[in-house]
Amino acid sequence: MEESKQLPLLSLIVPVLNEEESIGPFLDAIQLKLAGLPADLEILFIDDGSTDGTITEIERAAAYDNSIRYLKLSRNFGKEAAMTAGLDHAKGDAVVPIDVDLQDPPELIHEFVRLWQEGYDTVYGMRASREEDGRRKRASAGLFYRVFNHLSHTYIPPNAGDYRLISRRVVDVIRQMPERNRFMKGMFAWPGYPSTGVEYDRPARFAGETKWNYWKLWNFALDGLTSFSTWPLRIWSYIGGVIALLSLIYMVGIIIHTVIAGVEWPGYASIMSAVLFFGSIQLISIGVLGEYIGRLYVESKQRPIYMVDKD
Ligand code: UDP
Ligand code: MG
User: Distance from the CA of 17 to the center of ligand 1, in angstroms?
Assistant: 7
Residue 4 domain-assigned (yes or no): no
Regarding whether 283 and 176 lie in a shared domain, the answer is no
Regarding whether 258 and 199 lie in a shared domain, the answer is no
User: Distance from the CA of 233 to the center of ligand 1, in angstroms?
Assistant: 31
pLDDT of residue 2: 47
pLDDT in tens, 12-54: 999 999 998 899 999 999 999 988 889 999 999 999 999 988 9
pLDDT in tens, 86-120: 999 999 999 999 999 888 999 999 999 999 999 99
pLDDT of residue 5: 61
> Which ligand has the minimum distance to the alpha carbon of residue 209?
1
Ligand 1: residue of 17, 162, 200, 213 to mutate (most ligand atoms within 8 A of CB) is: 17
Quick one: angle between helices 214-228 and 268-301, nearest 10? 80
pLDDT of residue 136: 79
- Secondary structure in 3-state letters for 221-281: HHHHHHHHCCHHHHHHHHHHHHHHHHHHHHHHHHHHHHHHHCCCCCCHHHHHHHHHHHHHH
User: Distance from the CA of 208 to the center of ligand 2, in angstroms?
Assistant: 9
pLDDT of residue 220: 85
Confirm or reject: Cβ of 20 under 6 Å from ligand 1: no
Confirm or reject: Cβ of 202 under 6 Å from ligand 1: no
pLDDT in tens, 140-172: 888 888 888 888 888 888 888 899 999 999 999
Confirm or reject: Cβ of 234 under 6 Å from ligand 1: no
Structural domain including 290 reads 231-301
Confirm or reject: Cβ of 285 under 6 Å from ligand 1: no
Residue 86 domain-assigned (yes or no): yes
Residue 223 domain-assigned (yes or no): no
Residue 124 domain-assigned (yes or no): yes
Give the end of a domain, one of 216, 244, 273.
216
* Residue ranges with CB less than 5 Å from ion ligand 2: 99, 101, 103, 205
User: CB neighbours of 157 closer than 8 A, spacing ≥ 6?
Assistant: 124, 126, 189, 197
Regarding whether 133 and 265 lie in a shared domain, the answer is no
Confirm or reject: Cβ of 16 under 6 Å from ligand 1: yes
Give the end of a domain, one of 216, 249, 278.
216
Domain at 97, CATH number: 3.90.550.10
**Cβ–Cβ under 8 Å, residues 291 and 222:** yes
Regarding whether 249 and 101 lie in a shared domain, the answer is no
In 48-121, the DSSP E strands lie at: 68-73, 94-97
What is the tally of structural domains in the chain?
A: 2
Regarding whether 293 and 176 lie in a shared domain, the answer is no
Atom of ligand 1 nearest to the CA of 78: 8
| pLDDT above 90 coverage of the chain, percent | 38
CA distance 45 to 13: 6
